[in-house]
Chains A and B, each alone.
Chain A
Amino acid sequence: MQTVTYQRASTVNEAIALLSDGGENARVLAGGTDIIVQARERARTVDSFVDIKHIPELMTFNYNTSDGLSVGAATPVYLLYNDNDIQTHYPALVEAITVIGGTAIQGRASLGGNLCNSSPAGDSLTSMMALGAIANIAGPNGERDVAVSEFFTGPGRNILDLGEFVVAISFATPPANSGAAWQRFIPRNEMDIAVVNCGSYVQLDGEIVTDARIALGAVAATPIMVPAAAEALIGRQITDETISAAAEASYEAATPIADMRGSVKQRKHLSKVLTQRTLDIAVERARG
């Protein structure tokens, strides 16, 4: 481990001050399942950890039908997937966070951590993007909200400025006749990084699609939205043909690299298959 100091923040303002004073190598410590390993392996330079888990609102979540869901950025994901409201209203989120690492990782890993680690393959990211989630950010210049889909600037990089950190992630209440689903492909059953992952969301009026969002992970330098896939659906009747057209748009939008997890050809193919499969489930959920 590199030389590092540890500081505990008990309020949002205290965390902003510690992060601002600490400079760019002061890092937020939530569940630590990525940043501690990266500090040890020197994948990121860390001078100080600012522990945000003692800020009460960072470790809780609230759901109600008018405001939707707000998740404190450091809340461990097992608390989320064990919650009845989240299971009922946000199954696409549960599908993603139940496969992040194993049981011991899920006891610590958080949505805020997954977001700020900004891996192109991060599993919760494409789920949050399909659900239209918003990152609530606090910093020296006040608060701002940024869509998760606008958060990433490159592998491991994002729009956060010095002294800023993610306080919460907000999800709207799912509208009537809407549904979402999330899937990933890995060569084993669990404990692996996605070859491709995909989140899909649709809202229906009868059999006509009124809104749609499709997000793909591990096929570009950041997780991406696929607007062409949404356009292939919106305003059209939901049929196997329109879903195939959306899947084809995902195939075209994917610009993956080849690495030990998969080839370009396989990842493009998976983008199509996972778009189709998640849309099938999202539509089923939207029909209720």
Chain B
Amino acid sequence: MARFVLKTNINGEEREFLADERDSLLDALRERAGLMGAKEGCNNGNCGACAVVLDGRLVNSCCVMAAEVDNSEITTIEGLAEPDSLHPLQETFLENAALQCGICTPGFLMSAKALLDSNPNPTEHEIRWWLAGNLCRCTGYDKIIRAVQDAAERINS
């Protein structure tokens, strides 16, 4: 079992910790860095529950090796809220009851944030297309779409 020192910036903080060469980024975040927000759903790139932003781009952290992200910048769900207030997306997900069991929610929030960062005023079609790689087995998606629409409106106002 080959361990190596992983140096990376997570949510604006320089981190340095031991990881295993076999670790995915998801494994490293959860089991080495103690950040349990990104979730393991399918562990094969289908469900999006592990989505994080890696060097400015949304990725599934289960499909990234930890060793690849040396000296990278990573944003996880733990980096979304301000110290004393939720991100507008988190507020509107709560207001719209856009979650039930919550396993998919961190991935949806990271994916939706990446969408609004690149397209502040998406159509419903654009939201559904962008979020196609995030699976939710509880809500039926409509509440999630409404939450993203409400968040876009709130951020733009």
Q: Tell me if chain B binds chain A.
A: yes
- A interface residue numbers (CB < 8 A to B): 1-6, 29, 31-33, 36-37, 40-41, 49, 51, 53, 76, 78, 101-105, 107-108, 189-191
Q: With contacts defined as CB atoms under 8 Å apart, how many contacts are there between chain A and chain B in the complex?
A: 89
B144 in the interface, Cβ–Cβ < 8 Å?
no
Closest A-chain residue to B52, C-beta based? A104
Are A105 and B133 neighbours in the complex by a CB distance under 8 Å? yes
- What are 25 A-B contacts with C-beta separation under 8 Å? A2-B22, A3-B1, A4-B21, A5-B2, A6-B67, A29-B65, A32-B64, A32-B65, A33-B45, A36-B64, A40-B43, A49-B67, A51-B68, A102-B48, A102-B134, A103-B132, A104-B45, A104-B48, A104-B59, A104-B60, A105-B63, A105-B133, A107-B54, A107-B57, A108-B59
Binary flags per residue of B118-140, CB closer than 8 Å to A gives 1, else 0: 00000000000111111000000
Give the contacting residue for A103; candidates B21, B62, B63, B130; CB below 8 A. Answer: B130
The distance from the CB of B115 to the nearest CB of chain A, in whole angstroms, is 8
Are B57 and A6 neighbours in the complex by a CB distance under 8 Å? no
Contacts of B129 in A (CB 8 A): 190
Give the contacting residue for A36; candidates B63, B131, B134; CB below 8 A. Answer: B63
The distance from the CB of B47 to the nearest CB of chain A, in whole angstroms, is 10
Give the contacting residue for B111; candidates A51, A104, A189; CB below 8 A. Answer: A104
Task: Please judge, given known A-B contacts A1-B24, A5-B21, A78-B57, whether A101 and B68 are in contact too, CB under 8 Å.
Answer: no
Bound CA span A3–B2, Å:
9
Task: Please judge, given known A-B contacts A5-B2, A6-B67, A37-B44, whether A104 and B24 are in contact too, CB under 8 Å.
Answer: no
Give the contacting residue for B22; candidates A3, A31, A37, A102; CB below 8 A. Answer: A3
8 Å CB contacts to A: which residues of B35-78?
Answer: 43-46, 48, 51, 54, 57-60, 62-65, 67-68
Are A103 and B44 neighbours in the complex by a CB distance under 8 Å? no
Please count how many residues in chain B sit with their CB below 8 Å of the partner chain's CB atoms.
32
Give the contacting residue for B45; candidates A2, A4, A78, A101; CB below 8 A. Answer: A101
**Which of A51, A101, A104 neighbours the largest number of chain B CB atoms within 10 Å of its CB?**
A104
Give the contacting residue for A105; candidates B60, B67, B115; CB below 8 A. Answer: B60
The distance from the CB of A276 to the nearest CB of chain B, in whole angstroms, is 26
B114 in the interface, Cβ–Cβ < 8 Å?
yes
**Which of B44, B130, B131 neighbours the largest number of chain A CB atoms within 10 Å of its CB?**
B44
Task: Please judge, given known A-B contacts A29-B68, A104-B51, A105-B63, whether A36 and B58 are in contact too, CB under 8 Å.
Answer: no
Bound CA span A189–B128, Å:
10
The distance from the CB of A39 to the nearest CB of chain B, in whole angstroms, is 9
Contacts of B111 in A (CB 8 A): 103-104
Closest 10 CB pairs of A and B: A102-B133, A6-B67, A1-B22, A190-B132, A107-B57, A37-B44, A104-B60, A102-B132, A33-B63, A104-B58
Bound CA span A21–B129, Å:
43
The distance from the CB of A206 to the nearest CB of chain B, in whole angstroms, is 38
Are B46 and A191 neighbours in the complex by a CB distance under 8 Å? yes
Bound CA span A251–B43, Å:
37
Are B57 and A41 neighbours in the complex by a CB distance under 8 Å? no
Give the contacting residue for B133; candidates A37, A40, A41, A101; CB below 8 A. Answer: A101
Closest B-chain residue to A1, C-beta based? B22
Contacts of B130 in A (CB 8 A): 103
Are A104 and B133 neighbours in the complex by a CB distance under 8 Å? yes
Contacts of B57 in A (CB 8 A): 76, 78, 107-108
Closest A-chain residue to B130, C-beta based? A103
Bound CA span A49–B65, Å:
9
